[in-house]
Chains A and B, each alone.
Chain A
Amino acid sequence: MLAVDLRNLTKRFGSVTAVNDLSLQIDSGEIVAFLGPNGAGKTTTIDMLLGLTRPDAGSVRVYGSTPDDAIARGEVSAVMQNGGLLKDFTVGETVAYTASLYAHARPVSEVLERAGIGEIADRRVGKCSGGEQQRLRFAMALLSDPRLLILDEPTTGMDVEGRREFWGAIREDAERGRTVMFATHYLDEADAYADRIVLIRQGVVVADGTTAEIKNLASGRVVRATLPGADEASLRALAGVTNVERRGDTVLVQCLDSDIVARHLLTTTAARDLEISSKNLEAAFVALTADTAAESNGATR
Chain B
Amino acid sequence: MTVAARETPAHAQPHTRLVPRLGGFNLTALRLEVRRVLRNRRTVMFILVFPSVFFFMFSATARGGKQAASPEALAYIMISMAVYGAMVGTTSGGAAVAVERSLGWSRQLRLTPLRPAAYVAIKVLTAMTLGFIAVAAEFAVGAVAGVHMAPHVWLLSGLAAWLCSLVFAAFGLFMGFLLPSENVMQFVGPLLAVLAMFGGLFIPLSALSPTMRSVASFSPVWGVGQLARAPLMGDFSSTAVVSVVVWTLLFGAGAMALFRRDTARV
* B111 in contact with A177 (CB, 8 Å): no
Identify whether the interface residues of B are mostly helix, strand, loop, or mixed: helix
Could you tell me the distance in whole angstroms from the C-beta of B6 to the nearest C-beta in chain A? 7
* A102 in contact with B32 (CB, 8 Å): no
One of B14-22, B54-62, B84-92 at the interface: B14-22
Interface bits B149-188 vs A (CB < 8 Å: 1, else 0): 0000000000000000000000000000000000000000
Number of A-B residue pairs with CB-CB distance less than 8 Å in the complex they form = 120
* B17 in contact with A74 (CB, 8 Å): yes
Q: Contacting A145 at CB < 8 Å: which of B9, B28, B33, B113?
A: B9
One of A85-93, A192-200, A293-301 at the interface: A85-93
Could you tell me the distance in whole angstroms from the C-beta of B36 to the nearest C-beta in chain A? 6
- Find chain A residues with CB under 8 A from B2 CB: 110, 113-114
Q: Contacting B32 at CB < 8 Å: which of A69, A80, A96, A147?
A: A96
* B11 in contact with A104 (CB, 8 Å): no
Q: Is B112 an interface residue (CB 8 A)?
A: yes
* A72 in contact with B265 (CB, 8 Å): no
* A103 in contact with B33 (CB, 8 Å): no
* A104 in contact with B107 (CB, 8 Å): no
Instruction: From known contacts A101-B26, A103-B21, A145-B9, infer whether A84 and B265 are also in contact, taking CB-CB under 8 Å.
Output: no
Could you tell me the distance in whole angstroms from the C-beta of A91 to the nearest C-beta in chain B? 13
* A86 in contact with B105 (CB, 8 Å): yes
Q: Quick one: closest A residue to B8, CB to CB?
A: A145
Interface bits A44-75 vs B (CB < 8 Å: 1, else 0): 00000011111000000001000001011111
Interface bits B6-49 vs A (CB < 8 Å: 1, else 0): 10011110101111110010101100110110011000000000
* B108 in contact with A85 (CB, 8 Å): yes
* B32 in contact with A83 (CB, 8 Å): no
* A97 in contact with B29 (CB, 8 Å): yes
Footprint of B on A, CB under 8 Å?
Answer: 50-54, 63, 69, 71-75, 77-78, 80, 82-89, 93, 96-98, 100-104, 106-107, 110, 113-114, 137, 140-141, 144-147, 176-178
Q: Provide a sorted-by-A list of 24 A–B residue pairs whose CB atoms are within 8 angstroms.
A: A51-B110, A73-B18, A73-B113, A77-B111, A80-B104, A84-B108, A85-B104, A86-B105, A88-B39, A88-B40, A93-B32, A93-B36, A100-B28, A100-B32, A101-B113, A101-B114, A102-B24, A103-B17, A103-B19, A104-B16, A147-B14, A177-B9, A177-B12, A178-B11
